[in-house]
Amino acid sequence: MNKNNIPKKYKVALLQIKLTKSEDENINKAVTMIKEAAEKGANIVCLPELFKTEYFCQIEDVKLFNYAEPINGKTVQIMSKTAKDNNVVLIVPIFEKRGEGVYHNTTVIIDEKGNTIGIYRKMHIPDDPAYYEKFYFTPGDLGFKSFDTNYGKIGTLICWDQWFPEAARLTALQGANIIFYPTAIGWHPKEKDRYGKAQLDSWITIQRSHAIANGVYVAAVNRVGLEKRNEKSDGIQFWGNSFLASPQGVIIAQASQDKEEILIGEINIDHLENVRRNWPFLRDRRIDAYSDITKRLID
């Protein structure tokens, strides 16, 4: 990667999608939206978490492991061709089958030539009502990563990772100028009236905070729509609100809470550099005093 040829500005697209029960329909919709995003000038395109299917982790069912596929499986093959056809970098979340009995929640990063240039496996795995991910996913074992692209280094974390400042920090310290968060998050319908506004505000605030604390752009991409795994369930109402925040935490672009959208925003490396010069948080870190951060609690 020739750093001298990295552009100072580039555009990212976040695909806020409503998913259906048809895997083929979801993939075809993603391909169509990627093409449209490229036509609008996007250089890097990010899909939502587990975009091939509805959010299956609402229930525990061993048959649903059949959704999983290897890194070089059908979804990545289609997306590799799509990246090459449209000359874009793609961030492609998949349900990865690593081997018999070992599955991950993974993002695959594909360059403009259709080559896989890296993978990230979700490190923090939730276990909440209707988010039974520990049943399906082995925690990531690759650590926090950034990836070299023709637009500089980018990072990708996944959904529950977005609540942990350590994850954002360790990704930023590897040189990422933007952190993408493919996401599947929403309201339990019965709780929305009482807790909904606070939950959404917290989700946006924590990610804006990561942008500020690390001097990076942050891009969160979510799905929309009410999804039920069965008629006995209230389901999850995914709240959309995909957004791009600047290194000062300013929201550059934000989607609605209920519509499919292609959200496009510009990344400005000179602005990032200027923010870090004036807010030198990385410079002033007391790395000699942080060893206790590796403890569960300081007793």
Tens of pLDDT, residue by residue over 239-277, are 999 999 999 999 999 999 999 999 999 999 999 999 999
In a domain, 149, yes or no: yes
Interior/surface letters 210-248, b for 16+ CB within 10 angstroms, e for the rest: bbbbbbbbbbbbbbbbebebeeeeebbbbbbbbbbbbbe
Tens of pLDDT, residue by residue over 18-70, are: 999 999 999 999 999 999 999 999 999 999 999 999 999 999 999 999 999 99
Q: Is 57 marked active-site?
A: no
In a domain, 115, yes or no: yes
In a domain, 298, yes or no: no
Whether pLDDT at 1 is above 60: no
In a domain, 152, yes or no: yes
Please, which pLDDT band fits residue 229 given cuts at 50, 70 and 90? Answer: confident
In a domain, 29, yes or no: yes
In a domain, 173, yes or no: yes
- pLDDT reported for residue 250: 98
Q: Is 122 marked active-site?
A: yes
| Inter-CA distances, 243 with 87, 121, 205, Å | 23, 22, 11
Query: Active-site residue among 46, 159, 227, 261?
Result: 159
In the chain, how many domains are there?
A: 1
Residue range 187-207: mean pLDDT, rounded: 96
Q: Is 197 marked active-site?
A: no
Query: Active-site residue among 11, 49, 145, 261?
Result: 49
In a domain, 299, yes or no: no
Please, which pLDDT band fits residue 230 given cuts at 50, 70 and 90? Answer: confident
- pLDDT reported for residue 3: 62
In a domain, 200, yes or no: yes
The CATH number of whichever domain residue 129 belongs to comes to 3.60.110.10
Question: Could you tell me the residue range of the domain that residue 262 belongs to?
Answer: 14-285
Q: What is the DSSP string of 167-221?
A: HHHHHHTTT-SEEEEE---EE-GGGHHHHHHHHHHHHHHHHHHHHHHHT-EEEEE
User: What single letter denotes the amino acid at residue 68?
Assistant: A
Whether pLDDT at 2 is above 60: no
